[in-house]
Amino acid sequence: MSSPIHTPAEDRYEHLPYRRASRSGLDLPAFSFGLWQKFGPEHGYEKRREIILHAFDLGITHFDNADRYGPPTRGAQKFFGQVLAQDLAPYRDELILSTKAGNPIGASPYQKGASRKSLLASLEHSLRDLGTDYVDVFYSHSPDLTTPLEETVGALVSAVGQGKALYAGISNYLPDRARKAAALLREAGVPLLVHQPRYSIFDRRPERNGLLAAAAEDGFGLVVYSPLAQGLLTDKYLVDIPDGARARDSAFLSPDVIDATYRERAAALNKIAEERGQSLAQLALQWVLRRPEVTSALIGASSTGQLDHNLQALDFPPLTEAELASIDEHGVHGTGLKL
């Protein structure tokens, strides 16, 4: 027997602030929900559905996907398409749905890269997966240095021109290529809405390579991913690696990085958080959102309780200059990362 159709909370727009995506007219919730990990079919449908619907009840209107999210590839999109059809279709105009293409999803030369063929063919599949006529944001998932940038940008422009996407985005682009993409899109009358980079206390690349400055100057917002550094900016690994933790079975986090140096730095950051009356995760989320260039922070969740906890990061007072300096001391760039 299927679950009854969900009725969204009437107060769903009273929980989160919405932030303008730079020079566009679009507002995004301070937290967006990413389906990068643990939203493939091996995880129970009803539990995943409960988390998505709870996120919407809390005011999270932006749900971020990609053709390769699963596993298997397209698994997360097909799951979300089920939830959309069962529960959220009447509220499609309240949702910001994004997807990406360009990272490898198969052996075919047309299942990778940022050619016109690869991007637009993937978008057609994604629309069928999601069961919608359009996505709100279509991203080039990663830079493809073997394809002319003009071709990649042209595909994004075509997607918007055909009404299959409302906005264009890029992800994982270095600042120089991001600026060139922004310029080409602007010339075509389809301004770059957002760039999706990795950014956290332990990964300062957007600060160090000039991406934050590029976003401010070129007028695109940043939707940052991995703000908790794959769980390293939580209290999960302060003592050991618990059973079932991501570090035991994830391709994106190796147990090798959870060493004495990491634990020393994470413990110091955790102490700062405790002195503020919050968790390390809440501190880390508040830290990325302090930047005006950041429109939204992407978060996932394995339970509704975890989602509630993370959103409470917005309830704490702003970080002081002294606290930011202390975070800089212990939040050393590259901690836990293989750069």
For residue range 221-259, list pLDDT tens digits in order. Answer: 999 999 999 999 999 999 877 666 665 556 667 788 899
Q: Considering Cα of 253, then 258, then 262, then 268, what sign does the dihedral take?
A: positive
Q: What is the mean pLDDT of residues 271-278?
A: 98
Return the ∠ at Cα 178 (arms to 76 and 313), rounded to 5°: 55
What dihedral angle (degrees, nearest 10) is formed by the CA atoms of 111, 112, 116, 121?
30
Return the ∠ at Cα 243 (arms to 242 and 248), rounded to 5°: 90
Give the chain's radius of gyration (CA, Å).
19
β-pairing verdict for 192-196 and 221-224? parallel
Instruction: Quote the pTM value.
Output: 0.96
pLDDT confidence of residue 242: 67
**What are the domain boundaries of the chain?**
18-229+281-320
For residue range 100-115, list pLDDT tens digits in order. Answer: 999 999 999 999 999 9
Question: Is pLDDT above 80 for 126?
Answer: yes
Residue 224, classed as helix, strand or coil, is: strand
Q: Are 136 and 87 in contact (CB under 8 A)?
A: no
For residue 68, which of 108, 112, 130, 117 has the smallest C-alpha distance? 112
For residue range 59-102, list pLDDT tens digits in order. Answer: 999 999 999 999 999 999 999 999 999 999 999 999 999 999 99
Question: Is pLDDT above 60 for 53?
Answer: yes
| pLDDT band (50, 70, 90) for residue 3 | confident
CA separation for the pair 113, 238 (Å, rounded): 38
Q: What's 18-229+281-320's CATH class?
A: alpha beta
